[in-house]
A and B are shown apart, each in its own frame.
Chain A
Amino acid sequence: MIDFMFAAAIGALFSIGVFQLLRRDLIKAAIGFAILFSAINLFFVAVGAFEGEFAPYVRNVEEGRSVSDPLIQALILTAIVVSFGSLSLVLGLVNMVSRRYGTVDSNDVNKLKH
């Protein structure tokens, strides 16, 4: 049951994220980008979440309990940091665009068409 819910949640987040990314409003598109990143992080969680029963502490490993995969959690933490960095850069650029062009509608930010 829980894995079905995981799959449904990942799918829903992906579809919402792609829809938002294709919006004309640049801020909504940036938020869609954030949603897509959470979808992928959730996918990463789903890869390793259902394996062990205990947290991967050294004590649990030494006592022979089945522990979950610690590498996944390290990867997700790094991916969250990277996505936060790029999201803040995107929002910073959108802020500069809104000041310079007076709009965040991507159809009006089109001085580069040649």
Chain B
Amino acid sequence: MANNIYLLGTLVTPLAGAIIALLFASDNRLQRIIGLLTGLVAWCFSAVLLSQVYQTGVQTYALGNWIPPYGIVLVADTLGGLFAFMVTTIMVGGLLYTLQSHDKCMKLPAFLPLFLLMEVGLVGAMLTGDLFTLFIFMELMVLASVSLTAISDDRYGLEAALKYIFISSMGTLFLLLGIAAMYATLGTLNMADIAEILQSGERQLLAPASALMLLCAFLLKSAVFPFHFWQPDFHTTAPTPVSAMLSSIVVKVGVYGIIRLVTLLYVEEATLLEPLLSTLGIIGILFGSLGAIRTYNAKRMLAYSTFAQIGFILVGIGWGGTLALIAALVYAFNHAFIKSSLLMLMGVVASYTKVKTADFAFVSGIGRKLPALAGWLVLLGGLSLAGIPPLNGFISKLALVQAGVAREDWINLSLLVGFGILTLIYMIRAWQNIFQRGPTPTTTETKAEGDSLLAPFLLICACLLLGIVFAEPLMQLITETVTQIEDANIYISAVKSIAEGP
């Protein structure tokens, strides 16, 4: 199969954009425009790539024409293509937000290049067909996001960044150790090759151990229950566009990794891992929702809420089977749009305060000084997160409940629906606090103008469209995705066919 140039373009465009933005370090305005243009070009590439994947099957690119399993190969199957499309779409929103933001940290010449490098890491991790390259891209993403949080306007950003890099480096070490164990046992790092060897059902010395190490690393990246302690701090203190990306698409890298693990690499062990994943998911939903209810800061509330929403996705993966995987993917896709727009809205709210915080003590009652549109957008986003029709959150919750009914796992299903109602409580409470109350003495100090509402407005529009017009196409797209990833042979034979030549 021929090398697909769009696959390389999706990955290389943000990298080139980061370098070009560094060249124009003296002109901050120009840097931001370059960032947005890069994001748009990468989005076009990924959209073309996605349509090609659905029309002609798995796309590949052998870097430097080295034949797999010896060389590094980029692979876009339906799962990778869909996630890469999601990442580039949300990144366009984030880059649009940076264009009109007044944060001090965005005036630093390194901000835009680091932001684009984060996109390279994300897209690369989802499109690579090689485990070691996956490690490199994940590390790139972690280093970029840590640097971005350390230079945040929030003065506690540094502490959160230090906390995260220690925990995340430990996770990276486990990933590397798992990869070394995999190489020691199977003698290859190409994912298609590994999957083919593991299909035989034989489990040599270190293969089960490496599965557990990879699982731990992915769970840590998604901030699932035993590894979640860094997540609320890190997502709260990051600059607004960065925290919107962290909470919506960066956590999805772990979800992507877990889906790869249970559908491609360790298909036989999936039945052992699934009960574990559902239990961790339910624990995440409970603690995330309770944490969101008792917290005092709107951004922190949304960070805890991400912890809960990842729990919903994990329960979906944990149920296994076609319907549940469809539900998990729909949930992951829709959650990225909802959470990024909500975090940007809270960033807009915070940007109107003098001290630039989303603490309820400072922002309650501030709503009357904001454009009237902001209140409506927060309400729509909150209802979408809670799963109220006609927004896209309803589609994902409906798909998940259908999967649970088909699976007949009544205990987990009732816990999931019961705890899901907590979402409505904390979102409505936050909305009332900010937009319904009269000003309190601390809220009198406000600025005349804050960040632009354009990016969150467009993302909420996307939520509405995904809930009404595009709900049916999205479900079809993801149904097709799941039917393809359930047959691991499609992925394996696509990578193998490169070696055979045209």
Contacts and interface: CB of A to CB of B under 8 A. Distances in A.
Nearest to B173: A36
B361 interface: no
Nearest to B187: A69
A15 to B, nearest CB: 14
Nearest to A79: B176
Interface in A36-57: 36-37, 40, 43-44, 47
B132 A112 contact: no
Contacts of B160: 112
Contacts of A100: 155, 158
Interface in B152-167: 155-156, 158-163, 165-166
State which size class the interface on A falls in.
20 to 34
Contact of A89 (B165, B177, B189): B165
A109 B161 CA distance: 12
A96 B158 contact: yes
B162 A26 contact: yes
Interface in A67-92: 72, 75, 78-79, 82, 85-86, 89-90
Contacts, number: 72
A82 B177 CA distance: 14
B161 A93 contact: yes
Contacts of B165: 86, 89-90, 93
Contact of A33 (B135, B139, B169, B177): B169
Contact of A40 (B156, B173, B189): B173
A90 B296 contact: no
- Residue of A40, A47, A90, A112 most packed against chain B (CB within 10 A): A112
Contact of B159 (A29, A90, A111): A111
- Residue of B163, B176, B300 most packed against chain A (CB within 10 A): B176
A85 B158 CA distance: 18
A97 B160 CA distance: 11
A33 B160 CA distance: 18
Contacts of B143: 85-86, 89
Contacts of A36: 173
Contacts of A111: 156, 159
A41 B231 CA distance: 29
Contacts of A21: 166, 170
A112 B166 contact: no
A82 B135 CA distance: 10
A43 B177 contact: yes
Nearest to B160: A112
B71 to A, nearest CB: 11
Contact of B158 (A43, A47, A86, A93): A93
A16 interface: no
Contacts of B233: 112
A47 B184 contact: yes
A29 B166 CA distance: 9
A58 B53 CA distance: 39
A31 interface: no
Contacts of B474: none
Given A89-B143, A93-B162, A44 B180 contact: yes
Nearest to B162: A93
- Residue of A37, A72, A93, A111 most packed against chain B (CB within 10 A): A93
A89 B165 CA distance: 9
A97 B139 CA distance: 22
Interface string B194-234: 00000000000000000000000000000000000000010
B136 interface: yes
Interface in B166-182: 166, 169-170, 172-173, 176-177, 180
Given A93-B161, A109-B162, A114-B295, 19 more contacts: A26-B162, A33-B166, A36-B173, A44-B180, A47-B180, A72-B183, A75-B183, A78-B136, A82-B135, A86-B139, A86-B165, A89-B143, A89-B165, A90-B166, A90-B169, A96-B158, A111-B156, A111-B159, A112-B159
Interface of B: 132, 135-136, 139, 142-143, 146-147, 150, 155-156, 158-163, 165-166, 169-170, 172-173, 176-177, 180, 183-184, 189, 233, 237, 295-296, 300
